[in-house]
Structure 1
Amino acid sequence: MNKPLKRHEALQPLSRDHHQGLLLGWRIRQGIKKKVDQNRIFEYFRYFWKEHLEPHFQLEEAYIFNLLDPRDEMRIKAEDQHRELREIEMLLEKKGVERDLLDLFADKLEAHIRYEERELFQYMQKVLGQNELATLNEKMEKVHSEKSECWNDPFWVK
């Protein structure tokens, strides 16, 4: 059994966001599995993207990724994953509800979150100095806010 990863306090708010992102993927899959009207799933996806996921991506890009060299392979991979998720989101907006795209988004989002949690954040904790992490923690306390879920159609439980 894998032991839990120790996360620096500067990155903990993002890890909590990641948990919510994993729930989004799970909820999409549950909706598909339970044959819920895809419009209901899509509306939740749109809400979550706008209120939670895109702001989270912007925060990571503004405060986290730029702590690494622009040529760093791990940074490039995370940025590429953000770009790919945005492309799928744009396809969903353009094409409307498509089960396969929703499922693909859930898969890609989960893979991205697992990458950040298991590889990128661990790497950053090793390569960044304590001063950089402390400064990041101060910034995160100012710019990150915990967002509560505000959705009245829990299709994933029905």
Structure 2
Amino acid sequence: MNKPIKRNENLMPVSREHHATLLFCWKLKQGVKKEVSAARMKNYIHWFWKNHMLPHFKTEEELLFVETSDPMVARALTEHQRILSKINEISLRNEEKVNEAILQLSDLVNQHTRYEERELFPYLEEHLSEEYLAEIGRQLHGEEHNAEENYHDEFWAKENTP
């Protein structure tokens, strides 16, 4: 069993949001497994993108991923674009062909989140100055960063009803 990662307190608000992102992945898999309609799944994906993922990516890109020439940062930025592309692809897919793309999105987001937590954040903690980390912390703690979700349709928890 993996022991919990000790995160620099200044990065904890962003790290906590990763928990919600991993739950998002699980919920997508549950929705596919329960054969939830594509329309319901798409609505949730777009809601999560707008309310959680987009603000999260914006925060990371503006505060943490400033050294864009760094290969590890560049990988995270590329993955952000791949995730957005997959969400856009899902929007265009019809009912019959959307589940595969949803599972691909779930895997992509899961792998990306684990990359950030296990590799990129520890790397940034080593390479960013204490002063810069403290400044990041001041900015993050002044904003709302939580893993709470209040989506109205808990399709992942119920039997498949229209």
TM-score, structure 2 as length reference = 0.90
| Aligned alpha-carbon RMSD (Å) | 1.4
Alpha-carbon displacement from aligned partner over 1:95-136 (angstroms, at most 9, x marks no partner):
355111111100000000000000000001111121111111
d(CA) in 2 for partners of 1:148, 1:2: 24
1:16 aligned residue: 16
d(CA) in 1 for partners of 2:144, 2:138: 10
Alpha-carbon displacement from aligned partner over 1:51-90 (angstroms, at most 9, x marks no partner):
1111111111111101xx3211100000010010011111
1:149 aligned residue: 149
1:88 aligned residue: 86
Q: Which amino acid aligns with 2:135?
A: T
Runs of 4+ in 1 over 4 A off after TM superposition: none
TM-score, structure 1 as length reference = 0.92
- Across the two proteins, how many residue pairs are aligned to each other? 156
72-81 or 137-146: bigger deviation: 137-146
1:104 aligned residue: 104
Q: Which amino acid aligns with 1:85?
A: I
Secondary structure at the aligned position of 1:92 is classed as helix
d(CA) in 2 for partners of 1:75, 1:53: 17
Establish whether residue 62 from structure 1 lines up as the match of residue 30 from structure 2: no
Secondary structure at the aligned position of 2:9 is classed as coil
1:75 aligned residue: 73
1:128 aligned residue: 128
d(CA) in 2 for partners of 1:116, 1:145: 17
1:118 aligned residue: 118
Secondary structure at the aligned position of 2:28 is classed as helix
d(CA) in 1 for partners of 2:128, 2:94: 42
Question: Which sections of structure 1, spanning at least 5 residues, go unmatched?
Answer: none
2:41 aligned residue: 41
Identity within the alignment, %? 36
Establish whether residue 2 from structure 1 lines up as the match of residue 13 from structure 2: no
Question: Which sections of structure 2, spanning at least 5 residues, go unmatched?
Answer: none
Q: Which amino acid aligns with 2:39?
A: N
